[in-house]
Amino acid sequence: MTRETAIKAENLSLTFQTNDGPVHALKDVSLDINKGDFVSFIGPSGCGKTTFLRCMADLEQPTGGSITVNGVSAREARKSRAYGYVFQHAGLYPWRTIGKNIRLPLEIMGYPKADQDARIKRVLELVELDGFDKKFPWQLSGGMQQRASIARALAFDADILLMDEPFGALDEIVRDHLNEQLLKLWAKTQKTIAFVTHSIPEAVYLSTKIVVMSPRPGRISDVIENPLPVDRPLDIRDTQAFLDVAHRVREGLRAGHSYD
Amino acid sequence: MTKTALSVLTVLAAIVVTWYLAVAPMNIRVALDQAERAGGAIDPPSAVERREMSNWVLMAKNRDYISEGYNLERPRLPTPKQVAQELWKTTGAMVLKGRTWSKRSLIYHGWITLQSTFWGFLLGTTIGIIGAVAIVQSRVIEMSVMPWAIISQAIPIVALAPMIIVLSSQVGIEGRGFPKALISSYLCFFPVLVGMVKGLRSPTSEQLDLLKTYSASGVQRFLKLRVPASLPYLFTSLKIGIAAALVGAIVGELPTGAISGLGARILIGDQFGTPLAIWAALFAAAILAGVLVTLLDRTQQVLLRRMGMRS
């Protein structure tokens, strides 16, 4: 079965010019992400995983190679609002209630008022925050704020979700819960998800495809097709199959790590 | 709560006590001169000799006359009680007598100054906000406007005020209202400008990136992010701005030969040697500034709370 390609990178490079000379954040990175995939990017700091995600979002401009999103350039994809982006910090506007934060993209994109209301209600239910629309961000816990920011990215019709270490700042128990919820959400919405993480268990538990990256210069050192079944209860993490995948990821990380 | 009240009252008490203590050395010469005229025995008896001696020596030699310094009609430094009495005489007592708007009433003079303050504040705030918006929009405007704004604040307003008044009468503007408001706004616009530039630039790169992912327009970015993010900064600078506007209004009344307004009262008090009038006007100005800043502070708290920000 061949599926459509959602994101395609070919020989993508990005070099930052700094006072200490050029930094190769990405070098000759090529990758295909199919529609409906859940792809995790894992690697140590400085391996370019966030930069790669920001290139997909047209928040960084690559200095070499090409990247297409939904068959068009990243810039056109951004202009046509092809993706929702979830940042490391929830980044909710403190002067807006949760409901109004979710309304923000809808206002900007010009959805009719009645449609806005319906969408806010739907995504709040989706992330299990119904009843919280009138609360201000500071009245919510960190995990709830991050769920609200995911709801904000889901509110408009983008079939790609780009997530930059969204659960990195949360404790492990909250993180487990959100991972489980995210999988359900993915199954329900059929979105294509690109997910940056530091955590091996998180990457293995969530993804259909795991991209292992290594630093200096930032590049892909391994791409692992996850053999785990789509239906994943939390305790799948204790099975041998899970540990095998995790082991391969760890090997990939070790191989890519230079000890110079 | 009681702890806060206690420390506030301690500071207040310290100020009042220091003030009372300072009255004795400040007024000893005037007290002795007055006693000399009344035929009292003073050591040394001649005013010329006394000029050579320090206040402390005079106090030590004429202990009996120290208390006189607390009851002078034209003291160098009036006591807090005298100031309070003068303040009451020119405000509350006038109201009770039904002469609130008499030329002797500080309420009348305060009202004149308040009007100039208000127009100066309005003008200064408008200039400050428009300037900040322009500066944030364009690097070129920032580089061409900001140095002038900074230089403008290096020029003493006292030097500039007479020129503004002369120029405005030259171009045919009658009355003192407009030049006073202009002088007032000159002091007021700067804190608003600086505060608003900072506020409009306060959104984080993540907040800005978020709007970029929505492919939001420049106007949307401005209205939905920069403006609301700047509001806490705006109120902080408005509070500084209104106090500066009041100072500007008073300065605007000094060199103009004005006969009404708190500034005019200070100047006239100086010319006619009535220190009590000066001090009462000073305190009236301070109280007015306190009231204005408090009003803005309350508005800020209500508004920001409604916006969900914990202030």
* Cβ contacts of B229 on chain A, cutoff 8 Å: 95
CB hemisphere CA count around A187 (13 angstroms): 11
Residues, chain A, total?
A: 260
Chain A residue with Cα closest to B224: A104
Query: b/e string for B276-310 if b means 16 or more Cβ within 10 A?
Result: bbbbbbbbbbeebbeebbeebeeebeeebeebbbe
Can you tell me the ipTM of this complex? 0.88
Q: How far is B236 from chain A (nearest CA, A)?
A: 17
Chain A residue with Cα closest to B204: A91
Q: What pLDDT is stored for residue A231 in this prediction? A: 83
The reply to whether B187 falls in a domain is: yes
* Cβ contacts of A89 on chain B, cutoff 8 Å: 206
pLDDT, tens digit, for every residue of B85-117? 889 988 888 788 887 787 888 888 889 899 999
Q: Indicate if B138 and B45 belong to the same structural domain.
A: no
Sheet strands (E) in chain A: 5-18, 21-34, 38-42, 64-69, 72-73, 83-86, 160-164, 192-197, 209-214, 219-225
Chain B residue with Cα closest to A157: B214
CB spacing of B213 vs A109 below 8 angstroms: no
Interface check for A75 against chain B (CB to CB < 8 A): the answer is no
Q: How far is B103 from chain A (nearest CA, A)?
A: 49
Mean pLDDT of chain A: 89
Q: What pLDDT is stored for residue B1 in this prediction? A: 67
- Phi, psi of B258, rounded to the nearest 5 degrees: -70, 150
Task: Closest CB to A95: pick one of B204, B210, B307.
Answer: B307
Most confidently predicted of A42-51, B38-47, B166-175? A42-51
One-letter identity of residue B250: I
- Asked if pLDDT for residue A1 goes beyond 50, the answer is no
- Phi, psi of A16, rounded to the nearest 5 degrees: -90, 135
Give percent of chain A with pLDDT exceeding 90.
Answer: 43
Confidence tier at A23 by pLDDT (50, 70, 90): confident
Q: Indicate if B181 and B299 belong to the same structural domain.
A: yes
CB spacing of A87 vs B206 below 8 angstroms: yes
* Cβ contacts of A84 on chain B, cutoff 8 Å: 213
Q: Which CATH number characterizes residue A209's domain?
A: 3.40.50.300
pLDDT, tens digit, for every residue of A192-209? 999 999 899 999 999 999
Q: Indicate if B124 and B68 belong to the same structural domain.
A: no
Q: Which of B25, B59, B77 is the last residue of a domain?
A: B77
Taking phi first (over 0 means left), then psi (-120 to 50 degrees means alpha), and beta for anything else, what does residue B124 get?
Answer: alpha
Q: Which residues pair with A222 in a beta bridge?
A: A212
Task: Closest CB to A108: pick one of B220, B231, B308.
Answer: B220
Confidence tier at A260 by pLDDT (50, 70, 90): very low
- The residue with tokens 């400040």 is B26
Q: Indicate if B61 and B122 belong to the same structural domain.
A: no
Q: Indicate if B190 and B50 belong to the same structural domain.
A: no
- Phi, psi of B194, rounded to the nearest 5 degrees: -65, -45
Q: Cα-atom radius of gyration of chain A, to the nearest Å?
A: 18
- Asked if pLDDT for residue B291 goes beyond 90, the answer is yes
Task: Closest CB to A95: pick one of B204, B209, B308.
Answer: B308
CB spacing of B213 vs A95 below 8 angstroms: no
Q: Indicate if B66 and B112 belong to the same structural domain.
A: no
Query: b/e string for A117-127 if b means 16 or more Cβ within 10 A?
Result: eebbeebbebb
The reply to whether A23 falls in a domain is: yes
Q: Indicate if B73 and B111 belong to the same structural domain.
A: no
Residues of B with CB under 8 A from a CB of A: 204, 206-207, 209-216, 220, 224-225, 228-229, 231, 307-310
* Best of A80, A101, A108 to mutate (most B CBs within 10 Å, chain B): A108
- Asked if pLDDT for residue A258 goes beyond 60, the answer is no
Distance CA B299, CA A95 (A): 16
Q: What pLDDT is stored for residue A2 in this prediction? A: 57
Chain A residue with Cα closest to B305: A95
**Burial status of residue B27 (CB atoms within 10 A of its CB: 0-12, 13-18, 19 or more):** buried
Q: What pLDDT is stored for residue A3 in this prediction? A: 73
The reply to whether B176 falls in a domain is: yes
The reply to whether B95 falls in a domain is: no
CA distances from A79 to A8, A33, A87, B211 (A): 18, 20, 19, 11
* Cβ contacts of A108 on chain B, cutoff 8 Å: 211, 214, 216, 220, 224
- For residues B139, B137, B238, B265, the Cα torsion angle rounded to the nearest 10 degrees is 60
Structure tokens at A62: 């690559």
Distance CA B72, CA B77 (A): 9
The reply to whether B94 falls in a domain is: no
Q: Indicate if B162 and B289 belong to the same structural domain.
A: yes
Mean pLDDT of B181-190: 92
Q: Indicate if B132 and B265 belong to the same structural domain.
A: yes
Interface check for A65 against chain B (CB to CB < 8 A): the answer is no
The reply to whether A139 falls in a domain is: no
The reply to whether B100 falls in a domain is: no
Q: Give the structural domain span for B27.
A: 2-77
Chain A residue with Cα closest to B208: A91
Q: Indicate if B27 and B115 belong to the same structural domain.
A: no
- For residues B177, B178, B181, B182, the Cα torsion angle rounded to the nearest 10 degrees is -150
Q: Indicate if B220 and B159 belong to the same structural domain.
A: yes
Chain B residue with Cα closest to A58: B213
* Cβ contacts of A60 on chain B, cutoff 8 Å: none
The reply to whether A89 falls in a domain is: no
The reply to whether B27 falls in a domain is: yes
Q: Which residues pair with A17 in a beta bridge?
A: A22
Q: Give the structural domain span for A56.
A: 5-82+158-256
Q: What is the DSSP letter of A82?
A: -
Distance CA B169, CA B180 (A): 12
Among A96-105, A145-154, B8-17, B259-268, the least confident range: B259-268
Number of domains in chain A: 1
Closest CA to A14 of A44, A72, A53: A53
